[in-house]
């Protein structure tokens, strides 16, 4: 037991297994097609080599047949081995040496004559000895290379003067072999150029062939909760290979649309049902608090807690209703020219007691009355309230929160700047999704829908919301609205 523990303690840790990145279909098609083309050219080279060898063998056998036929016609006039060798020397073919070898002797009857076109990589008697060894090792015609020359040899048997003998043929195919090698090199060069040309043509061809998949991918990326019913894929425009996938995708969209409708109806119904009891609870708690003189401090604190929680629940139900209307496309806002500085002043007054004086309003420019934004003042204040509520929750209690306005030629931007931990870049878009919170939220309580409501309301007003890093650390939440021209909005003196 101690030994196993010791081995486990000093053993090397295993490296984590690497996850192999999947290869794209386009690259697979390119690689497979190119390998197929190369395999086709390889097969062509092999066939060319085999056919060249067969053609060489056929030419050799044809030459042997002609010589044997000549021998059969004239052998009777020159009987015996001497006469036969003389006849062989007379009918010698260019590029070939023919000689007679008696089996018992094991050597040529006499050295044959050779044509001037027949090259000699070594003396004739040694060349004949090498040929004799090659024909003994391999029955039938044999091809061998010697001194850079390619030879084809064969040794048919015959009877001379009642004795068995061998008739040996040695033919030089060096020129044909060289032409074959050049042809092979040309074919290999052609294969390389064709493969390069094919790889260049494959890219647009495969891109064109994969267009249905790209269209399907774009359709998938465009699916949202509000367009589930409009994103069905027309089956008559799909290639046969994608019909099954498109059908399954359409079925999935139908089921998702039904589930989304049921979820939206549930949230909408529950939110409406909760508004009345929450309002009653808050109202009665307020009455109890206002008439709570006979109650002790603990009881008064509990009533205040009930009232605060009822108010928080009311805000949450309102947010859920806004999101439900946004999902169904029924969230319509009456947008008109508004004064953003007035909205900031009102929201500061509302949160002044809750923030313990932490909200600092930036300087209002002298021409503020002439600079207006297109939006809805009540909904803008709702967005500001949600953003400021988050800033009060996550920023340290002693740090200020700045409210200011900046402008561009096209937009007016309302800033809520805190000195908290900030929001990492990876979470700056995530925090606007429903029920999602940043990684720096920690154990701070929250529903995760406040900023999602801000996103929906700003979209309805034709604006946008984003998170930037504050210069001194912290988060700078920016609410941007389109600039508008018109009379000063009511509420500013």
* CATH assignment, 235-328: 1.10.287.130
What is the per-residue pLDDT for 439? 66
Instruction: Please give the CATH architecture assigned to the domain spanning 336-484.
Output: 2-Layer Sandwich (3.30)
- In sequence order, the 6+-apart residues with CB closer than 8 A to the CB of 466 are 428, 477, 478, 480
Helices (H), 291-371: 297-328, 340-355
SS3 492: coil
pLDDT (0 to 100) of residue 186:
86
pLDDT tens, residue order, the chain (493 aa): 444 454 344 444 455 555 566 767 777 777 887 788 888 888 888 888 888 888 888 888 888 777 777 776 765 655 567 777 777 777 777 778 887 777 655 667 767 777 777 778 888 878 888 888 888 887 778 888 888 888 888 888 777 666 777 778 888 888 888 888 888 888 888 888 887 887 787 778 777 777 777 777 777 776 666 666 667 777 777 777 777 877 887 888 778 777 777 766 766 666 666 767 777 777 777 777 777 567 777 877 787 788 777 777 777 777 777 777 777 677 788 888 888 888 888 888 888 877 788 888 888 776 666 678 899 888 888 889 888 888 888 888 788 888 988 888 888 999 999 988 888 888 888 888 877 766 666 666 656 788 888 888 888 888 999 999 888 788 999 999 998 765 444 444 4
Give the pairing of strands 96-102 and 163-172. Answer: antiparallel
Task: Choose among 446, 447, 452: nearest CA to 434.
Answer: 452
What's the CA dihedral at 360, 362, 364, 365 to 10 degrees?
170
CA distance 43 to 55: 18
CA-closest candidate to residue 439, choices 447, 431, 397, 399:
431
Note whether 84 and 158 are within 8 A (CB). no
Q: For domain 68-177, give its CATH number from 3.30.450.210, 3.40.50.720, 3.90.25.10, 3.30.1330.30.
A: 3.30.450.210
If you ran DSSP here, which 8-state letter would residue 144 be given?
E
For residues 378 and 343, give the distance between their C-alpha atoms in angstroms, rounded to a whole number: 8
Compute CA distances 80 → 73, 83, 86, 97, 288, whole Å.
15, 5, 10, 20, 145
Here the contacts of 2-6 (C-beta below 8 Å, separation 24 or greater) are none
Q: Where are the domains of the chain?
A: 68-177, 235-328, 336-484
The pLDDT value recorded for residue 479 is 92
- Segment (H or E) for 226: none
Distances from the Cα of 226 to the Cα of 222, 288, 323, 456, angstroms: 10, 44, 12, 13
Q: Where are the alpha helices (DSSP H) in 162-210?
A: 174-209
């Amino acid at each position: 037991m101690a030994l196993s523990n010791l081995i486990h303690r000093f053993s090397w840790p295993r490296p984590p297994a690497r996850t192999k990145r999947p290869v794209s279909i386009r690259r697979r098609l390119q690689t497979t097609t190119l390998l197929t083309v190369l395999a086709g050219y390889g097969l062509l080279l092999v066939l060319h080599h085999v056919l060249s060898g067969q053609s060489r063998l056929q030419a050799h056998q044809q030459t042997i047949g002609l010589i044997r036929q000549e021998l059969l016609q004239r052998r009777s006039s020159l009987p015996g081995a001497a006469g036969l060798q003389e006849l062989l020397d007379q009918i010698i073919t260019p590029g070939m040496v023919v000689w007679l070898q008696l089996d018992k002797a094991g050597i040529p009857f006499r050295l044959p004559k050779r044509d001037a076109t027949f090259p000699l990589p070594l003396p004739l008697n040694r060349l004949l000895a090498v040929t004799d060894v090659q024909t003994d090792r391999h029955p039938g015609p044999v091809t061998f290379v010697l001194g850079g020359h390619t030879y084809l040899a064969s040794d048919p048997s015959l009877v001379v003067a009642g004795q068995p003998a061998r008739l040996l043929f040695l033919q030089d195919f060096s020129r044909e072999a060289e032409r074959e090698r050049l042809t092979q090199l040309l074919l290999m060069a052609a294969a390389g150029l064709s493969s390069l040309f094919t790889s260049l043509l494959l890219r647009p061809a495969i891109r064109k062939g994969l267009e249905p998949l790209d269209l399907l991918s774009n359709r998938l990326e465009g699916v949202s909760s509000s367009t589930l019913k409009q994103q069905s894929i027309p089956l008559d425009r799909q290639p046969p290979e994608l019909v099954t996938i498109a059908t399954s995708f359409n079925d999935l969209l139908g089921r998702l649309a039904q589930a989304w409708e049921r979820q939206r109806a549930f949230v909408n119904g529950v939110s409406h049902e909760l508004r009345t009891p929450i309002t009653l609870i808050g109202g009665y708690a307020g009455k109890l608090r206002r008439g709570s003189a006979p109650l002790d401090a603990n009881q008064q604190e509990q009533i205040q807690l009930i009232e605060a929680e009822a108010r928080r629940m009311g805000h949450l139900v309102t947010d859920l209703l806004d999101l439900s209307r946004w999902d169904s496309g029924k969230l319509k806002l009456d947008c008109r020219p508004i004064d953003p500085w007035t909205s900031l002043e009102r929201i500061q007054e509302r949160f002044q007691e809750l923030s313990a004086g932490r909200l600092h309003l930036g300087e209002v420019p002298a021409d503020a009355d002439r600079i207006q934004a297109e939006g809805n003042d009540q909904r803008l204040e709702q967005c500001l309230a949600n953003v400021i509520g988050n800033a009060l929750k996550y920023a340290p209690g002693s740090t200020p929160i700045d409210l200011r306005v900046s402008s561009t030629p096209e937009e007016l931007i309302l800033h809520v700047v805190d000195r908290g931990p900030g929001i990492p870049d990876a979470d700056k878009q995530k925090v606007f999704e429903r029920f999602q919170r940043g990684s720096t939220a920690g154990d701070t309580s929250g529903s995760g829908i406040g900023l999602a409501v801000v996103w929906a309301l700003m979209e309805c007003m034709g604006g946008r919301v984003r998170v930037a890093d504050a210069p001194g650390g912290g988060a700078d939440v920016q609410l941007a609205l389109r600039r508008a021209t018109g009379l000063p909005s009511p509420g500013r003196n």
